[in-house]
Amino acid sequence: MLFQQERATVPVTLADYIYPAIQKQYVRILTLEADVLADEDCEAVHQIRVSLRRLRSQIQAFGSMMDIPEVMDAKSIGKIARVLGKVRDLDVLHQTCKHHLKNLSESEKTHLEKVDSAIGKRRRKEILKVKLMLNDSEYQFFKLGMNNWLNHPQYLPTARVEIGTILPELLLSVVSKLFLNSGWWIDLELETGGDPELAASQVLLVHGDTLHDLRKQIKATRYLMEMFPDRYPVEYNDYLQDFKQIHQIFGNIQDNRVFDKFIRKSLGKRAPMKLPILYERLARSNHLNWDNWQPIQHKYRDPNTKQKLQALLIQDIIHNLHG
């Protein structure tokens, strides 16, 4: 009984959250390896890539609080994820081709089938690289490093501090940096004859990289915040849902950008003239995604929205001050 009472007084720390989060993603990676090597279901590539990206985000967020081997740092994990990412991008391109082949003219179908054939050829090369990577020494050293750390986790003092005294600063610093991204302030310039679809295309042509960077920041923030819903009231999940929606919207736009780039590489600069219906669809898709983005964009431009989220994140500190 005395032992149970002593355990109850042990403070909850960041380490109590870090370890199971890292372990969960690593176990998923190991579980998915065989399916990726078999290459019978492209979903396995997607899921292992997601787990690697979540793991990378965790290492980026908590790396300064942990004593980890170089083989499991964010740079090493990112290198593995990028090899898988090339296959995943091609799988998305193939699915996009299948979707758009419907209701095209015979001429456009012929051009798009040529693109799809190039996608298939490229994928066969990239999946071979994935299989080689999963069997090479660098990846085996990564797993060895992960196993060693999970068996004997090493933390710096910050990770052992009571979570309520450090989590607010951690999340607030990430969210504050997110709100400084210039992507929040990019607007449509309706000087292109008043055509909103053309305006959206022009914005993405000029600012596509900036918006993609905002998406990556949103994703990292979302992955981090998803670790701590039990520390906050239900309103916390509302912000998570917004970030998830932004992630999806800009994911759709980025998929269209990658698709356009691959088409032009396969068919040349005159690709839009060879595939006019398809390019009208892409422009419409980008505009619809932009329409979905604007209400959320305006919401988070509002200082009140940002201040409410920031106040929510530091509620433990405020409670302690007034407690």
Arithmetic mean of pLDDT, 204-214? 93
Model pLDDT for residues 107-165, shown as the tens digit of each residue: 999 999 999 999 999 999 999 999 999 999 999 999 999 999 999 999 999 999 999 88
Is a pLDDT exceeding 90 seen at residue 23? yes
**Confidence class of residue 320 from pLDDT cuts 50, 70 and 90?**
very low
Least confident stretch, 125-134, 197-206, 242-251, 270-279:
197-206
For the chain, give the mean pLDDT.
91
Comparison of pLDDT for 101 and 316, the residue scoring more: 101
Kindly report which listed range (139-143, 210-214, 260-264, 317-321) carries the lowest average pLDDT score. 317-321
Options 3.40.50.10490, 1.10.260.40, 1.40.20.10, 1.10.3720.10; which CATH number does 11-161 get? 1.40.20.10
Helix pair 15-38, 137-151: axis angle to 10 deg: 150
Please tell me which residue, 205 or 34, carries the higher pLDDT value.
Answer: 34
What's the mean pLDDT in 26-53?
97
Domains of the chain, by residue range, sit at: 11-161, 163-323
